[in-house]
Amino acid sequence: MSCRNSCHCNVQTPNPKILALILDLDGTLLDTERATKGVVKEFLAKYGKVMNEGMEGTKKLGMTLTDSAAAIVEDYDLPLTPDQYIKEIIPMYQEKWMYAKALPGANRLIKHLYNHGIPFALASNSLREYIDLKISHQKGWKECFKVILGSDQVKAGKPSPYLFVEAAKRMDVDAANCLVIEDSLVGVKAAKAAKMEVVAVPPLIEAGCSSLANTVLHSLLEFQPELWGLPPFEDWVDDALPIEPIHLTGLYVNGFLCEATEGGAFALPDQVFGAFFGFATVDMHKTFNVVVSIGLDQCSCLCQKVIKICMIDGTNDCTSNQQMKIQIVGYIRALTSEETTCIDTELLEEYKSIAMASMDLPTFPQHCGLL
């Protein structure tokens, strides 16, 4: 399909050739942010403090643990040293890390690089001890990385370049031949300081990555290795990609899903973005085959997520103001900004056709009946 993954921004032909990759962990491969949502708020409440949601959502992203701890102690005037804060809060984080899920496309990318013998490293601002704990809950990850580095193993963490420079050195690859994939501005700055190519897959709050990265993606599902001189993915089934099932719940209103929140946060990470297909169950009764487009409302100053639901068989049995549960099983392509809120009829029919041809194939997860 000619339009597949057409939303790459700032794509530049790599020169020299990319021989190795360096991947960030939190927010790039693993959705630890959502898994640990509420930990800082709960901790601050013990000291009679109220968390500033907006500040914590932007200020601390990508920072080292030491820098983040110092900032929180200062911002909230806590009667603790940064080291005391770390000692008290880390056990609370550890209880949550086991629930962190791989972000869309993460397992696929790791498997692809490993199977093709492409060396790749994990370089995170977390301490090495905490990296090992986080990835211990992800089957096969630790064995796949040629190098794993934490900020405590180098002179300074991101945005300094030392993590990436050391990772390249340990892989015996020149920095100029490395491609970094990051989600945060501090990570992108570190990669550029290390003289490396960088792909950014940022959440909404890290839009500043866009101007510095070589390429900006909404999701790892949009990553095309061949653009960097690497072997292409071979898992597409005609014009559709089987993916690990994604579940979402919300109120269906006039063709859109108002996503339910968990503790005030949306269940879907920002990196779930694009045209998908799967199954929808309404009020635990009838199941429909659906095309799901997930993007952003560019007209809103809040850049809110927009989830458009289209019944594949054209049924009108699904009325508004009903609870809907969705199981997404396939990915079609990225969305342009114009398609986020309105997909033209011809393109929508193409998406329906792709979905209909794919949903009964054994390569795609089937509706499990329990969404």
Cα 315 to chain centroid distance, Å, stands at 33
In the chain, DSSP finds a helix count (H) and a strand count (E) of 11, 14
Helix (H, G, I), strand (E, B) or coil at 242: strand
Does the annotation mark 344 as catalytic?
A: no
User: Which of 24, 67, 239, 270 is the catalytic position?
Assistant: 24
Burial 87-104 (b: 16+ CB within 10 A, else e): eebbeebeeebeebbbbb
- Residue 146: which residues within 8 A CB-CB, separation 6 or more? 119, 120, 121, 170, 171
- Residue 252: which residues within 8 A CB-CB, separation 6 or more? 258, 280, 282, 309, 318, 320, 321, 322, 323, 324
With the C-alpha atoms ordered 176, 178, 184, 186, is the resulting torsion angle positive or negative?
Answer: negative
C-beta separation of 266 from 302 below 8 A: no
User: Which of 26, 67, 183, 239 is the catalytic position?
Assistant: 26
The C-alpha atoms of residue 32 and residue 68 are separated, in whole angstroms, by 15
With the C-alpha atoms ordered 224, 189, 132, 72, is the resulting torsion angle positive or negative?
Answer: negative
The C-alpha atoms of residue 28 and residue 111 are separated, in whole angstroms, by 15
Continuous segment of H or E residues that includes residue 103: none
Does the annotation mark 24 as catalytic?
A: yes
Give me the active site residues, please: 24, 26
